[in-house]
Structure 1
């Protein structure tokens, strides 16, 4: 629900809703990271999290660059196309992560996971309908954002076994806030009072959503937690309908269903692989 709220806020500050008062996606993304860092860095200090000891800076830099590009693209797409459509395309990020892991990490992927990728890709084609009059160029932005978010997952996976979640979150938001503060200068436009409030809420909401999801993953198996993440699509469609009159069509519903089905199949197979690895380790130990 909270993740859907962030795309809703981004859309409300985009050109289709705000008109001449619209903020550039880079500025909206700045708010997400700057106000997120304003919350996380003091919390990390209170908890005495050492951000500089045994820190894998190359992984953090890779994670930040890919994550920032993904967030900027996600917010740009949310401002240009229906919420349900942009949210559904963002769910392709785990599939992009799988393909990137095969290419760069030389991971072995079995037929079930390739089937999951094929199902999700088919869903994306149904939803966007390239080559038809219904195709939205903004979908290309959403696809690119999903690819960047997928690459971010590769870096997160590498960091998760090496550093604490609070440290990863704090460095991510602090580093991203620093970089994007420099990038936002040519795009800066003085926000209205309402937009300042929305930007603060955006940062706080995203941090809360990240923290709750990480907590859920920590106390539940991935195959139980993942379906709840995909309820984001339901809330995005609901918000789009209630606030913007966007009624999802047959192609949106069918395409989104295929994308989510493929992503859930991938999650299920990866969870089985983790369980098998744990059992093998227990036998050898």
Structure 2
């Protein structure tokens, strides 16, 4: 005689095992979930783009469905979801983030999924440059050297002047630059700024950026395409939430390497769905970029440890 599984007890056991994990273990799990979400998001975007849908239309739908997913949180927060003393910073962050999203969608339409993912790892390198220029943060020679090495990895991957060079690679770099600019602008916001407000204003600014070009290039999606567009919006929002959870749960230097698993997953998905096989130059350039960005994160930890001891 067979018995139906007790779903309540299964859930309880799963929660107990989750709580038994260390903070670093939970952070690693959140980061792997985020990487999986972003990779599947890339799969959906690439499928839509190869079907002939314009990146502006995909971006507009992505932001719209993200806003729909945010509605319960906006309702819970009430007027506080829109309250801020820094509307200009939010506007700029949304515009740069929206530009990054558009560049990413364009790059996904023209480049292998793994290559776009690898070039996206240059975001910390751009963040350092922008932090010096905008935030006037001091940077010592080791971080400058690591940044230079990282950009050498970019040159290895894109090989300007060779027959393998594709201008879409530069668009992918603009994606990383836009994300870095959005990150730097977040640092200009006070610690108490509402996370809901940050997400809401980001979506609204990105929506306005994509609205007119999307209307001009609009074509009516099929039922399946509407489902894929909804998936892009919801997956993007969930993946961003997982990233936040990862860095709140664990040490940044511990969880950062788990983000690089995204490259292996992107390679597998690209091969299975689009028959994409990264060449040796892509792997070599990605290895250099990953090594340099991880070194920068490690140096940040060393820098933060004395400050934390002083606070104690």
Secondary structure of the residue aligned to 1:46 is helix
Aligned counterparts of 2:152 and 2:195: Cα–Cα separation in 1: 34
Aligned counterparts of 1:12 and 1:36: Cα–Cα separation in 2: 19
Larger Rg: 2
Tell me whether 1:117 sits opposite 2:147 in the alignment: yes
Tell me whether 1:199 sits opposite 2:234 in the alignment: no
| Counterpart in the other structure of 1:8 | 43
Structure 1 residues 244 and 257, CA gap change in structure 2 (3 angstroms) = same
Describe how 1:1-285 pairs up with structure 2 within 5 A: 1-14=36-49, 17-18=50-51, 22-48=52-78, 50-159=80-189, 161-282=191-312
Are the aligned partners of 2:95 and 2:205 in contact in 1 as well (CA < 8 Å)? no
Listed one character per residue, the Cα deviations across residues 124-176 of structure 1 (whole Å, up to 9, x for unaligned) are 11111111111111111111221111111101222362313333223322442
Are the aligned partners of 2:94 and 2:204 in contact in 1 as well (CA < 8 Å)? no
Are the aligned partners of 1:159 and 1:168 in contact in 2 as well (CA < 8 Å)? no
Shift, 1:77, TM fit: 0.4
Secondary structure of the residue aligned to 2:188 is helix
Structure 1 residues 173 and 11, CA gap change in structure 2 (3 angstroms) = same
Secondary structure of the residue aligned to 2:220 is coil
Instruction: Count the aligned residue pairs.
Output: 277
Aligned counterparts of 1:162 and 1:116: Cα–Cα separation in 2: 32
Computed over aligned residues only, the root mean square deviation of the Cα atoms, in angstroms, reads 1.7
Aligned counterparts of 1:95 and 1:165: Cα–Cα separation in 2: 25
Are the aligned partners of 2:39 and 2:262 in contact in 1 as well (CA < 8 Å)? yes
Listed one character per residue, the Cα deviations across residues 22-71 of structure 1 (whole Å, up to 9, x for unaligned) are 11111111122110111113323125471233442111111101000011
Normalising by the residue count of structure 1, what TM-score does the alignment of the two structures yield?
A: 0.91
Are the aligned partners of 1:94 and 1:153 in contact in 2 as well (CA < 8 Å)? no
Are the aligned partners of 2:83 and 2:197 in contact in 1 as well (CA < 8 Å)? no
The worse-fitting range, judged by mean Cα deviation, of 265-274 and 199-208 is 265-274
Are the aligned partners of 2:91 and 2:201 in contact in 1 as well (CA < 8 Å)? no
Are the aligned partners of 2:81 and 2:196 in contact in 1 as well (CA < 8 Å)? no
Are the aligned partners of 1:123 and 1:258 in contact in 2 as well (CA < 8 Å)? yes
Aligned counterparts of 2:135 and 2:169: Cα–Cα separation in 1: 28
Aligned counterparts of 2:231 and 2:91: Cα–Cα separation in 1: 26
The worse-fitting range, judged by mean Cα deviation, of 100-109 and 166-175 is 166-175
Aligned counterparts of 1:58 and 1:279: Cα–Cα separation in 2: 36
Listed one character per residue, the Cα deviations across residues 195-215 of structure 1 (whole Å, up to 9, x for unaligned) are 111000000000110111101
Secondary structure of the residue aligned to 1:50 is helix
Aligned counterparts of 2:230 and 2:236: Cα–Cα separation in 1: 10
Q: Which runs of 5+ in 1 are unaligned?
A: none
Shift, 1:183, TM fit: 4.1
Aligned counterparts of 2:114 and 2:208: Cα–Cα separation in 1: 31
